[in-house]
Amino acid sequence: MAQATVSQTRKGYVDRRALGEEMAALGCVRQAGDGRYVVLSPGSGNAYQVTCHPWGSWECTCPDRRYRNAFCKHMWAVKHYRGEGEDYFEPEEEGGEETKGDPWARLR
Ligand SMILES: [Zn+2]
């Protein structure tokens, strides 16, 4: 049960990151001010406001962020837009060894 939750969360990171990269590549990110961005969801046509505070915390107006507190695909899109797509959660990725080396498995 707990294991399934963890792997879903990990998968969520990867999916959001890939989606964000795609959105950035599609030009869905617009800078709206200092540390403020508007990100368009190509699927739904919704636009969300992403704020990147100088002290390193992130905000997004989408439900994924507000209700699930996820690092959502819009924030990922901004990360990629800013050329920072590789430096977040990097220690957990380990070159795509998803099925095998789950670091959480060592934690009982
Ligand atoms: Zn979002």
In a domain, 64, yes or no: yes
| Residues within 5 Å of ion ligand 1, judged at the Cβ atom | 48, 60, 62, 65, 72, 74
Question: Is residue 105 in some structural domain?
Answer: no
Burial 53-74 (b: 16+ CB within 10 A, else e): eeeeebebbbebbeeeebbbbb
- Ligand 1 centroid – CA 12 distance (Å): 13
Tens digit of each residue's pLDDT (9 = 90 or more) over 43-84: 889 999 999 999 989 999 999 999 999 999 999 999 999 998
pLDDT at 67: 94
Domain carrying residue 50: 2-96
Q: Looking at the domain assignment, is residue 102 inside a domain?
A: no
What is the mean predicted confidence (pLDDT) over 7-19?
71
Distance 15 CA to ligand 1 centre (A): 13
